[in-house]
A and B are shown apart, each in its own frame.
Chain A
Amino acid sequence: AAKCIKGDRKAPYTIGWANIYSVPTWMKQTQGTIEAEVETLKKQGLVDKLVVTDAQGDANVQIQQIQSMIDSDVDAIILIAGSSTAPARVIADACAKGIAIINFDSLVDTDQVTAKVNTDSSQWGDQAAKFLIDAIGGKGKILILNGPAGVSVSDDRRKGADAELKAHPDVTVLAETNTPYNVAPAQEAVTSLLFANPEIDGILSLGGALSAGAVLALDKQGRDQVPITGENARQFLELWKEKGLKSWATMQPNWLGAFAAYTAVQALEGKDVPAFVKIPLPVIDNSNIDEYLARAKDFPADGYIYSPYDEELFKKLLAQK
């Protein structure tokens, strides 16, 4: 059996979904995929209840809520961690109690989990840097936009870009900035940077809605658009099309949530699941952006257009070694 699993849990299972913050749109969409998956599993008689908590962004509250899940003896916990270190101990407790734990998106530095499910943040940064350096012809001046400081995901993505940047000494980093993964602060920061730096050849944006903010800033200041990296935020993809950008985007698929729920049940059912399921980073470029935009109306205006998924995909992902 998989890690943390003890034989005495029987279907239908109760799944706890320890969300860190349910208000942001990305989280809402993710929750949507989890709920849809749970509905499916309910029909199969495998799940009877989904318990949802919302830590309101506070890692300490999340610990308390996971503790409550342990206390109420849920069968599985799926979680996005509010801190890459903080929940480690409570998760180890849960694991010791035989609760299946599937950690996705923001990961915890502990191996006391059934499985971790995520894309590779470091690869994220590396590929983004590759594209950008390519797009500006191997030399030039760039800005780097990154998510909040002190958080593992943004730090990993940034570190992932380091090797490429080092390998190209002709690429000068004019400035780096950290803001929340949101449009307004990114737009603000980039505008200031635009004034301070008359020549900019490219923008290495490491996620979320940062890219949309940067594009808006260039547009509003009447500057020519430059090559830029990004994620599958709907606003960014629409701007990309509208402005004819030279861009590349990847994504953190929202269906990681659905997949985590699926994996939890598989593990509880006695299947072996890999300790780490690496989700390949889907790439959006000019070749397939239209496919994404064609589905745009199914997604919230400030949401993320994620790639399609189904059980086949999940099975394939679980089967990989």
Chain B
Amino acid sequence: MSTVSSARPAGALYWPVQARRNIGVRSLFLVVLAFLIAYGFLFPGLFSASGFAKFTQSWFPLALVAMAQAILMLTGGISLAIGPTVSLGAVIAATTMAGPLGVTGGAAAVALTGLGIGAATGFIVVRLRLPAIVVTLAGSFIIGGAALLILPRPGGAIPEWLSDLLAGDTPTAFVLLVAIVLLWKLYLATPLGLSLYAAGENPVGAYRSGVPVDAARVAAYAISGLLSTGAGLFVAAQTGSGDPVIGAAFTLNSIAAAVLGGIGFLGGQGTMRGALAGSLLLSLMISVMFFLGFTPVAQYVAQGLIIIGAVAIPQFRKVQ
């Protein structure tokens, strides 16, 4: 309160820091916004409760796996096992929830599996210093095999009420997503969470500064596993059943969403909001192209162009 130079109250640090982080993804936000407007224009039903609910439901699992991938890439890691982990989450949910474990027990089983797989992967990558990309490639076969053992063919069941709650006509998925994002912000506000960036970008320096680098990275893998099996649970609820190969496409899509959102490969670059925007763009694109009446060939071409465009346009602006 005393001097003029310290006029900016010290407590106002958090929000400027947050605002600064938007700079890298502004143009992506604009592109996504344009698509949202186009979607709303093409399909006014979007603004009804159930229209909005369905829209967020189709985005939700992709949003989760994009987060799961992004958190790894922030630490300089990557996972090729996201898809099978989603499948595993789905089959565990579909085989336990309608059974003796019940919904709570099933959800706990799903969560523990995700955390366990993630932590184990993280331990192998971090402590044994093996390249994440091959460890998770090998992991994808192991996890996918486990899903096939639990449910050799699509089946199982999710209690009807849970499906209706998560994937009915109410925007529960959106509320959940908001909650997860808030939890993420909360995590990033913990010392361990904030260390993610330092551990990813400059592990040696971070270690010397007293950051528990290994713990931060293993924790990231565990959280990533949790998000992936969580996405699997949601997919199971959305479809009312389990399918041992349902997640296959999520591996590449999660990477695409994260990279589209400006997450770098070397660690420490990018933001979660970017990854979420990237996943939203991927999801929106499908619906918008449908309403524009694109043929499959046009869908493929347009999809390629949109993805490249969303990344290249900001670059052009930077050059000029």
Assembly CA distance A88 to B235 (angstroms): 12
Interface string of B162-194 (1 = CB under 8 A from A): 010001000000000000000000000000000
B238 touches A89 (CB 8 A): yes
**Distance of A48 from chain B, by nearest CB (Å):** 13
Decide yes or no whether A307 CB sits under 8 A from chain B: no
The size of the chain A interface, using a CB distance under 8 A, is: 34
Interface string of A245-272 (1 = CB under 8 A from B): 0000000000000000000000000000
B286 touches A150 (CB 8 A): no
Decide yes or no whether B239 CB sits under 8 A from chain A: yes
Interface string of A51-84 (1 = CB under 8 A from B): 1111011111101110111011000000000011
Stretch with Cβ within 8 A of A (4 or more), from B104-112, B114-122, B291-299: B291-299
Decide yes or no whether A182 CB sits under 8 A from chain B: no
B154 touches A54 (CB 8 A): no
Partner of A71, one of B43, B239, B240: B43
Decide yes or no whether B89 CB sits under 8 A from chain A: no
**Distance of B292 from chain A, by nearest CB (Å):** 11
Q: Given A64-B286, A68-B287, A150-B154, are A87 and B239 neighbors across the interface (CB < 8 Å)? A: yes
Decide yes or no whether A291 CB sits under 8 A from chain B: no
Assembly CA distance A87 to B159 (angstroms): 16
Assembly CA distance A86 to B94 (angstroms): 12
Decide yes or no whether A109 CB sits under 8 A from chain B: yes
A54 touches B243 (CB 8 A): no
User: Which residue on chain A has the smallest CB distance to residue B54?
Assistant: A67
Decide yes or no whether A301 CB sits under 8 A from chain B: no
A54 touches B148 (CB 8 A): no
B235 touches A60 (CB 8 A): yes
A89 touches B167 (CB 8 A): yes
Q: Given A19-B296, A58-B248, A68-B291, are A84 and B239 neighbors across the interface (CB < 8 Å)? A: no
Partner of B152, one of A52, A67, A87, A149: A149
> Which residues on the A side are within 8 Å of B41 (C-beta)?
none
Partner of B243, one of A61, A72, A83: A83
Assembly CA distance A263 to B291 (angstroms): 25
**Distance of B59 from chain A, by nearest CB (Å):** 9
User: Which residue on chain B has the smallest CB distance to residue A67?
Assistant: B54
Output the residue of B62, B242, B246, B300 with the most chain A CB within 10 A.
B246
User: Which residue on chain B has the smallest CB distance to residue A64?
Assistant: B58
Decide yes or no whether A22 CB sits under 8 A from chain B: yes
Interface string of B247-264 (1 = CB under 8 A from A): 011100100000000000
B246 touches A86 (CB 8 A): yes
Interface string of B142-156 (1 = CB under 8 A from A): 000001100111111
Assembly CA distance A67 to B61 (angstroms): 16
A150 touches B243 (CB 8 A): yes
> Which residues on the B side are within 8 Å of A155 (C-beta)?
152-153
Assembly CA distance A17 to B246 (angstroms): 21
Interface string of A90-133 (1 = CB under 8 A from B): 00000000000000000001000000000000000000000000
A60 touches B61 (CB 8 A): yes
> Which residues on the B side are within 8 Å of A68 (C-beta)?
43, 286-287, 290-291
B296 touches A52 (CB 8 A): yes
Which 3 A-B pairs give the minimum distances between C-beta atoms?
A85-B241, A58-B249, A54-B296
- List 15 A–B pairs whose Cβ atoms lie within 8 Å, in order of A's numbering: A51-B290, A51-B293, A53-B299, A57-B248, A59-B246, A60-B58, A63-B58, A65-B290, A67-B54, A71-B51, A86-B239, A88-B239, A88-B241, A109-B241, A150-B151
